[in-house]
Amino acid sequence: MAQDIIDGINPTRMELLNLKKRTKLAEKGYTLLKEKRSALIKEFFDILDRVKGVREEAYSKLNEAIIALTSAQIVMGDMAVRKASLAVKESIDVDIASRSIMGVSVPIVNINMDEKSLIDRGYGFNDTSIQLDEAAKKFEESIKLVIELAEIEKTIYLLADEIEATKRRVNALEHIMIPKFKNTVKFIDMRLQDLERENFVRLKKIQSTVEDKEEENSDEMEIAV
């Protein structure tokens, strides 16, 4: 047969019924996957709009922090800045959980970061400058934005991968599996019709042979009488 069909298929009525069920299931799966793909794409672009703003804000804040740090290094000297940084205590707690977007597990990052006063940062006032305080504050603000940006970008990557995988499954169903199922159903249906016609012709021949034999026997009985 010129059309693509399932290999090794038996042209029986049971197989025909089974294939029709599989075709309906594949068509239902195709519809659901298309809906999933559309929902994922919408979610993807919604988050993509958000990431641009967060990225710009994070870059801007980091740039401000670096400028403030450079100023502190100029005023205090590089070694003094390094010494002050060693006295700073860690004060950020990050908790990573997850949520599901159309079956895709994406991260949720919860940040617990206390606002620090000049005293809380751990270094003294005598050997430091206002530029260092400003740099420390800017970097603390930057950390929150960088973590938020990481969460959003990871979500985008995961959604993009799932969109691509869903697209491949949709295309496989639309262009390969469903046509192959339908072609095979058509092939089995035509084959069964051919078999029915062959059986009908065979039965007619048998019936004709039986009738001829009966007629022949009837003629022989009449001759004998």
Separation of alpha carbons 167 and 159, rounded Å: 12
Q: For residue 32, what are its two tokens?
A: 């659901």
- Asked if pLDDT for residue 205 goes beyond 90, the answer is no
Residue 162's contacts (CB-CB under 8 Å, 6 or more residues apart) are 40, 102, 103, 104
Separation of alpha carbons 172 and 115, rounded Å: 53
Q: For residue 30, what are its two tokens?
A: 């195709």
Q: Is the pTM of this model over 0.85?
A: no
Instruction: State residue 208's pLDDT score.
Output: 76
**How confident is the model over 59-94, as pLDDT tens digits?**
999 999 999 889 888 888 888 777 777 666 666 778
Separation of alpha carbons 49 and 161, rounded Å: 18
User: What amino acid is encoded at 217 in this protein?
Assistant: N
Separation of alpha carbons 53 and 50, rounded Å: 6
Separation of alpha carbons 102 and 207, rounded Å: 64
**How confident is the model over 103-141, as pLDDT tens digits?**
899 999 888 776 665 555 555 555 667 787 788 888 888
Q: What CATH number labels 39-160?
A: 1.10.287.3240
Q: For residue 115, what are its two tokens?
A: 């606002």
**Concatenated DSSP letters for 67-132?**
HHHHHHHHHH-HHHHHHHHHTPPP-EEEEEEEEEETTEEEEEEEEEEPPP-TTTT---STT--HHH
Separation of alpha carbons 149 and 152, rounded Å: 5
Residue extents of the structural domains in the chain: 39-160
Instruction: State residue 1's pLDDT score.
Output: 41
**Concatenated DSSP letters for 38-68?**
HHHHHHHHHHHHHHHHHHHHHHHHHHHHHHH
- Asked if pLDDT for residue 179 goes beyond 90, the answer is yes
pLDDT band with cut points at 50, 70 and 90 for residue 27:
very high
Q: How many CA atoms lie within 13 A of 5 on its CB side?
A: 17
**Concatenated DSSP letters for 135-168?**
HHHHHHHHHHHHHHHHHHHHHHHHHHHHHHHHHH
